[in-house]
Amino acid sequence: MVDQRSIRLLPLLLSLMLFEFTFKQQMQQTRLSSGIDVTSIIISGFRRTRLGRQNPQSAVDSLANFTRLVSFNASRFLLPGSVPDWFGQRLLTLQVLDLRSCIVSGVIPLSIGSIPPGHGSLSMLQSLNLSSNRLTSSIPAQLGGLDSLVDLDISSNGLSGSVPLDLRGLRNLRRMVFGNNGLGGALPVGLFPSPSQLRVIVLKNNSFNGNIPEVLWSIPELNLLDLSHNNLRGKLPNSTLNDNAAAAVLNISQNKFYGGLTTMLRSFTDLSGNYFEGTVPNYVQDNAFLSTNCLQNVSRQRNLTQCASFYSERGLSFDNFGRTRKRKQQQKDNRIGCSLRRSWACCATNPVAISGPMKNNTEDDSLQSLDWITRLKIAIGAAEGLSYLHHECTPPLVHRDVQATSKLLDDKFEVRLGSLTEVCAHEDGHQNRITRLLRLPQSSEQGSLGSSTAICAYDVYCFGKVLLGLVTGKMHIGVSSDTQMKEWLEQTLLCISIYEKELVTKILEPSHLVDDDLLEEVWAMAIVARSCLNSKPSRRRR
């Protein structure tokens, strides 16, 4: 018997389209006459004949004879009717089942999964896509027994009810897409296991209510979290937008969240259509959609009546767009109006305190031996130190000497900021004064140094060069001449694209080998570096 792992059966399928033979007649004849074990059947994208479209039939019963079938892909091929219950009883070797956009109706068969896992179900299934069909009823708890499942997409159906807690058994799941259904209730706290492999969570356009489980903010590999258009409510955790920086896209628009906002570090954030109050800094506005809230310094907000009514109905206090906080703010301003020397002593000593033997470990000769995890740790440590100076100190402090040689590492590669002799308070003075403080000639990279954010923005620009050094291994570039720096940046930034992740491999040092998972992290750091190096200071991440 010939062992062939993938057959597309084009002659068979063409005859199917032309003469509307059933799967049973054709597939049995093919298997008996050829002696081939069919492991893959792909009819995705094929169209039925005109007569066939008038009365399409699924006719998939003959699939039961293919006991070694690994993949069945019929996406966008009309297969009206329900998914046979025997799928989970006969196709025990199936790893991929793709029935998206097949106008499948009925319920998701219980036999596909089982609890406990591995008992008479599709225990080897890795990808299940039933999206854009006409499925109804609830999500079977038995799906939680598919412990090999990596991709689960049941979006755009008519599913209802709550999400069963048994789905916490999907510990290898990377993609959970349940959007555009009628699902409701609270999201179970234990639904998202820890540790979790999830990278994509899409629960948009349902009727979920209650608070967001805080575990969602600590999933390290999460790239997309879309909870928009639900009835979720409450305040966001204090760590919401800082600790979960791995989620490049966050969309919680059109819900009922309220309270203040914290710093955002995501590439795309949509918080519109909620009831957030207070003020947000300019750098937050640059990275987020904030319309239709109750914010003081953002355009296109809800009116006072809507906001006051929302907060009053829930017994919450509302700041009335800042009108009731003027006196408290004045008192706060008086308390924090300390001198530059006192601010430096209170704030700058915290991120730079030395608790052990320190050395500069970010030069080229030692960087070659650092693995990617260590480099990422260095980048995060440096970012946290600068963030503290820029956003936690009053007034904000500017480092003014951000480069590889100003980073001190202990024996565990914990980062401390060095070169503190140049630290000064952020100033809003005129352009010539700021230029003099920086002791640098004005250039296009520094941007408009006369703006209120120019000095901090220059710190961010220099930090971007440090990130590129960690990615490329060329830490010495920070002390190169202006001409060399400009040429190197132009060539390097051409290899950093949000659309072509693999381009970044062209700028990696030859000795630095990364797998697919690490490549995504390297690419993400390169994207952040490119944003920091934006020629417009207001567009740089801070």
pLDDT of residue 430: 41
* pLDDT at 35 > cutoff 70: no
* pLDDT at 335 > cutoff 90: no
Lowest mean pLDDT among 25-34, 46-55, 288-297, 467-476: 25-34
Residue in this structure with the two tokens 């039961």, named with its chain if needed: 64
| Mean pLDDT, rounded, for 109-128 | 80
Q: Which H or E run includes 71?
A: strand 71-73
Output the pTM of the full model: 0.56
The angle that helices 516-532 and 454-472 make with each other, rounded to 10 degrees, is 150
- CA-to-CA separations, 136 to 235, 303, 423, in angstroms, rounded: 33, 40, 63
pLDDT of residue 280: 84
Give the pair of three-digit tokens for residue 253.
């628009």
DSSP state of 271: -
Q: Residues 165-212: pLDDT tens digits?
A: 999 989 999 999 999 999 999 998 888 877 788 999 999 999 999 998
Q: Is 43 exposed, middle or buried (0-12, 13-18, 19+ CB in 10 A)?
A: buried
Q: Residues 267-305: pLDDT tens digits?
A: 678 999 999 999 887 777 777 889 999 999 898 999 999
> Domain 372-420+453-539: which topology?
Transferase(Phosphotransferase); domain 1 (1.10.510)
* pLDDT at 73 > cutoff 50: yes
Q: Is 401 a catalytic residue?
A: yes
Q: Residues 147-160: pLDDT tens digits?
A: 899 999 999 999 99
Q: Residues 505-517: pLDDT tens digits?
A: 888 877 666 677 7
Q: Of the listed 401, 411, 428, 459, which one is catalytic?
A: 401
CA distance 450 to 438: 12
What are the residues facing 185 on neighbouring strands?
208
User: Cα-atom radius of gyration of the chain, to the nearest Å?
Assistant: 29
Judge whether 14 and 46 are in contact, CB under 8 Å: no
